Amino acid sequence: MNGLGQRVGTDVGAWRADFPLLARTFRDKPLVYLDSAATTQKPQTVIDAVTRFYSWENANVHRGVYKLSEEASARYEAVRPQVARFIGAPGPRGVIFVRGATEGINLVASTWGRANLGPGDEVLITGMEHHANLVPWQQLCKQTGARMVVAPILDDGSLDLDAWLTLLGPRTRMAAMIHVSNALGTVNPVQHMVAAAKAVGAVTLVDGSQAAPHMAVDVTSLGCDFYVFSGHKVYGPTGIGVLWGRESLLESMPPYHLGGDMILSVTFEETIFNEVPHKFEAGTPHVAGVIGLSAALAYLDDCGLARVQAYEHDLLAYGTALLGEIPGLRMVGTAPDKAGVLGFVIDGVHPHDLGTLLDARGIAIRAGHHCAQPVMKRFGVAATARASLGLYNRREDLEALAEGLMAIRGMFA
């Protein structure tokens, strides 16, 4: 906001000014933040919305008869249709507030999964899933006797779509797929995949954690049954996220957590559960998180996700070209359709050393397995360095990264 209380940064390139943390310096150097795939920084509007909530609006929801609680409940419930609009969902009833993508996937695996899977059934995933969309299915399969089937990745980090289609079949009950890979940046053809999965009668879940910050998502045209994303990766608070589900499926699923707010009536003998979506929101929800998420989605709407996507696409191409000039650097993930992520290794330098030495220059990147150990194994590395983009990054950030990498490479030569 400027001194007149007006939003600044509706112009591409001016967005950066909306993020106070980016003005910090580290070791007397301006911060170059290139770890938005881990979490995004927050615009002032989100910070203000959360502060205002706790300063002026705080009350528990769905239970008070007094005005303050009614207001908080109305504010909370008003975010459901906003989220529905943001992801192109037909209505608010399919929007469930969860802690994040991880909880959303666990909810589906535990409720839909336990009720619907058994011996002879298959869950099809891709070889590039984040652990959040792998471990719940793997453990569910162990418990139910179903089988988890994994489609391979090609050398450039694309999904082997032909193999995926071959693995899809009448036994596939669930096809769970990552929309954009956090380790490789690959954008998967999820619309095509969902249509193919539907044709064999499979239910589909799309992990949109790395898609929602970078592109407009429309669950209606994707045709999926479940879609998840995390608030903190779309410039909102931590501890809040969204599971969107097709209402008919949600209605057929047993609840996940049990307790207050998810009931209509309780006796010692019997409980009648509340209707969807409340059936899946037991206990006091993260009201401030929902309010902050609302501000974040409004911010992204203001920026315009089509403009964000075009801007980041240009940055990604620029960064890819710059890193391509560094001798001994190998990109991990070069699929033709990518978003937001530059993963790489440099001959003779451990990615963790790269991370530490870049930090000394005020540059924050991620080094490690990125919660995708099978992806690392597929590419024959223990870890990669990953620079990931947000709408506030500039070409200068990528130039600083390339300059830093050149200098570090020289130290190890």
Q: Known catalytic residues?
A: 371
Tell whether residue 101 is a contact of ligand PLP (CB under 6 A): yes
Q: Which is nearer to ligand PLP, 44 or 209 (CB)?
A: 209
Alpha-carbon distance values, 113 to 122, 144, 194, 204, 385 (Å): 11, 9, 18, 12, 35
The amino acid sitting at 248 is S
13-21, 204-212, 271-279, 317-325 -> range binding ligand PLP (CB under 6 A): 204-212
Tokens of 180: 């954009």
Which distant-in-sequence residues (6+ apart) come within 8 Å of 45 by Cβ? 1, 7, 18, 295, 298, 299
CB of 241 to ligand PLP, least distance (A): 6
Site for ligand PLP in 217-236 (CB under 6 A): 230
Shortest Cβ 101–ligand PLP spacing (Å): 4
Give backbone dihedrals phi and psi of 208, rounded to 5 degrees, phi first: -95, 20
Stretch that binds ligand PLP, among 65-73, 113-121, 205-213, 280-288 (CB under 6 A): 205-213
Strands, E, within 332-376: which ranges?
A: 341-346, 363-364, 366-368
Return the number of the residue (177 or 322) whose C-beta is nearest ligand PLP: 177
Shortest reach from residue 390's CB to ligand PLP, in Å: 14
Smallest distance from ligand PLP to CB 290, Å: 15
Q: What is the CA 35 to chain-centroid distance, rounded?
A: 13
Listed residue (136, 125, 128) closest to 101, CA to CA: 136
How near is the Cβ of 47 to ligand PLP at its closest, in Å? 19
The count of other CB atoms within 10 Å of the CB of residue 13 is 12
Binding status of residue 102 toward ligand PLP by CB under 6 A: yes
Looking at the DSSP bridge assignments, the partners of residue 176 are 205
Q: Which stretch binds ligand PLP (CB under 6 A): 54-62, 100-108, 254-262, 282-290?
A: 100-108
Residue selected from 43, 94, 100, 113 as contacting ligand PLP according to rule CB under 6 A: 100
Helices assigned H by DSSP within 113-261: 114-116, 135-144, 161-167, 190-199, 219-222, 247-252
x/- binding map, residues 60-99, to ligand PLP, per CB under 6 A? Answer: ----------------------------------------
Q: Which is nearer to ligand PLP, 41 or 182 (CB)?
A: 182
Is residue 282 within the footprint of ligand PLP (CB under 6 A)?
Answer: no
Query: Is residue 41 a contact residue for ligand PLP (CB under 6 A)?
Result: no
The pattern of x and - marking residues 359 through 378 that bind ligand PLP according to CB under 6 A reads ------------x-------
Q: Yes or no: say if 318 and 398 are a contact pair by the CB < 8 Å rule.
A: yes
- Could you say which of 45, 126, 186, 209 contacts ligand PLP (CB under 6 A)? 209
Q: Name the token pair of 268.
A: 């010692």
By CB under 6 A, the residues from 103 to 142 that bind ligand PLP are: 130, 132-133
170-189 binders of ligand PLP (CB under 6 A): 178, 182
Contacts of 228 (CB under 8 A, 6+ apart): 98, 101, 104, 105, 205, 206, 207, 208, 209, 241, 242, 243, 244
Please say which residue, 383 or 408, places its beta carbon nearer to ligand PLP: 383
Judged by CB under 6 A, the number of residues near ligand PLP is: 13
Residue 207 near ligand PLP by CB under 6 A: yes
Which residue(s) pair with 349 in the sheet? Answer: 346
The answer for residues whose C-beta is within 8 angstroms of residue 274's C-beta and 6 or more apart is 261, 262, 263, 264
Q: Is residue 229 helix, strand or coil?
A: strand
Interacting residue ranges for ligand PLP, rule: CB under 6 A: 100-102, 130, 132-133, 178, 182, 207, 209-210, 230, 371
